[in-house]
Amino acid sequence: MTTTQPPQPAGPAAAAPEFAVITGAQVERALHGREKQLVELAEDAYLLHAAGDSVNPPSHFLRFPDRPADRIIALPASLGGRFRVDGLKWISSVPGNVTAGLPRASAVLILNDRATGYPFACLESSIISATRTAALAASAATRLGRGRPRPTRVGYVGTGLIARYVHRFLTATGGPFDTIGLYDLSPQSTAGFHRHLHTAGDTARVTVHDSTEKLVRASDLVVFATVAARPHVTDPAWFAHHPLVLHLSLRDLAPEVLLTAANIVDDIAHCLTADTSPHLAEQLTGSRDFLDGTLADVLHDRLRPPPDRPLVFSPFGLGVLDLAVGKFVYDQAAAAGQTHVIDGFFHDLRRHG
């Protein structure tokens, strides 16, 4: 009977990437005051996606039969170009948080190393999510506004965190407004946003409206940032003055409103899902002909939206934008030596012990 010795390992195991945690405070510091730079970054990431240098599968919705108002959404994505990062945003929406004094949404973003697949960072992402939404909204307001008078009257339907970020980006990239209109089902939310504007030193005249209709009719630029699950704005006559509408919450406008407007989306396949307003319009008409094009068409000057109709931008919100902003934050923190590395996070890295 003979015995043999097992072969010796060929060499040391490859080192796994470090795993870092980046807090909301760090995210805020990395992004603060960089609105114009972040708009350009969001446009770069979006155009890479439009050119096919990304993987952005459909979002996955986790819903709860006993809590129909709540949801958690997974947005996996991969982005090429100068970003070269994979990852996942995991964002929850619990409207009941607002009554407890918490923001509705909370989120984390995981970034994965392309070479090994190992995650290398976890970032607080509610700020990243709000920032990428606001950056693309500001881009759309600027790009779609060509050929139209500069809006001087902005109105916000929904006055939560997203509205606050959008207003900051709109004023940083497009200049101040003469008037700001506010409407929210929660008077406390409206009052809080009003106080924020005052504290931030905004000199525009602020009007708190008692209906969505009055706000829409009084605004050149309308921002919908609500938690509406189904359309509540049904009368196209409210938009007879042809405003620019940033339909960020995606489910506020009835198909009848969209069918009288020029419609721009960020990504057609993503927008026409999940019972969004554009999806309902497609179901009603059996066609996508009501869509004029995408923001990429506008950025590439392939499309000039008509000035003689309301103009509605309905962005689904793409995971590649979260990756772009998140990678920017990570790079800022890493360059400053401020990443919180979790020693020993990855363990038992040898296949056979």
The pLDDT tens digits of the residues spanning 257-281 come to 999 999 999 999 999 999 999 999 9
pLDDT band with cut points at 50, 70 and 90 for residue 194: very high
Output the CA–CA distances (angstroms, integers) from residue 38 to 136, 159, 172, 239, in the order listed. Answer: 9, 22, 11, 31
Q: How far apart are CA 252 and CA 186, in angstroms?
A: 16
Identify the pLDDT of residue 5. 67
Long-range contacts of 7-14 (CB under 8 A, 24+ apart): 13/349, 13/350, 14/116
The answer to whether residue 8 scores a pLDDT higher than 90 is no
How does strand 67-79 pair with strand 85-93? antiparallel
What is the spatial distance between Cα 181 and Cα 156, in angstroms, rounded to a whole number? 6
Higher pLDDT, 171 or 101: 171
Mean pLDDT across 74-100: 95
Question: How confident is the model over 223-249, as a mean pLDDT?
Answer: 97
Q: Which two tokens stand for residue 225?
A: 């940032």
State residue 12's pLDDT score: 56
- What the block records as the tokens of 140 is 């759309």
CATH 3.30.1780.10 segments of the chain: 20-128+319-341
pLDDT at position 132 over 90: yes
CA 36, CA 172: separation in Å to the nearest integer?
A: 7
- Of 288, 348, 286, 287, nearest to 314 by C-alpha is 288
Average pLDDT over residues 88-113: 93
**Could you report how far apart the first and last alpha carbons of the chain are, in Å?**
28
Mean pLDDT of 246-266: 98
CA distance linking residue 207 with residue 151, whole number of Å: 16
| pLDDT for residue 98 | 85
What mean pLDDT value characterizes the chain? 94
Residue % of the chain over a pLDDT of 70: 95
CB 113 within 8 A of CB 78: no
User: How far apart are the C-alpha atoms of 49 and 53, rounded to whole Å?
Assistant: 5
Alpha helices in 90-211 (DSSP H): 126-144, 161-174, 187-199
**pLDDT (0 to 100) of residue 31:** 97
Q: Looking at the predicted structure, is the pLDDT value of residue 11 above 60? A: no
In this structure, what is the dihedral angle of CA atoms 78, 58, 38, 227, given to the nearest 10 degrees? Answer: -150
Distance CA 33, CA 36 (A): 8
- The CATH fold assigned to 20-128+319-341 is ornithine cyclodeaminase, domain 1 (3.30.1780)
Structure pTM? 0.93
Closest residue by Cα to residue 247 from 321, 137, 130, 91? 137
CATH of domain 137-314: 3.40.50.720
Residue 311 has pLDDT above 80, yes or no: yes
Are 320 and 274 in contact by the 8 Å Cβ rule? The answer is: no
Task: Name the band, by pLDDT with cuts 50, 70 and 90, for residue 2.
Answer: low
Query: How far is residue 12 CA from its own chain's centroid?
Result: 43
pLDDT at residue 101, rounded to an integer: 82
User: Which residue type, as a one-letter code, is found at position 202?
Assistant: D
**pLDDT tier at 102, thresholds 50, 70, 90:** confident
pLDDT at 177: 97
Q: Where are the alpha helices (DSSP H) in the chain?
A: 24-31, 35-50, 126-144, 161-174, 187-199, 212-217, 255-258, 268-271, 277-285, 295-299, 319-335
Read off the pLDDT band of 353 (50, 70, 90). low
Q: In the chain, which residues fall in CATH 3.40.50.720?
A: 137-314
pLDDT of residue 332: 96
* Cβ atoms of 310 and 242 closer than 8 Å: yes
As a whole number of angstroms, the distance between CA 215 and CA 224 comes to 11
More reliable by pLDDT, 134 or 352: 134
Give the model's confidence band at 17: pLDDT under 50 very low, under 70 low, under 90 confident, else very high.
confident
* Mean pLDDT of the region 21-27: 97
pLDDT tens digit string along 139-182? 999 999 988 999 999 999 999 999 999 999 999 999 899 999 99
Both tokens assigned to 196: 């924020």
Buried b vs exposed e over 286-323: b needs ≥16 C-beta within 10 Å?
eeeebbbbbbbebbeeebebeeeebbbbbbbbbbbbbb
Question: Residue 14: what pLDDT?
Answer: 61
Q: What is the mean pLDDT of residues 320-339?
A: 97
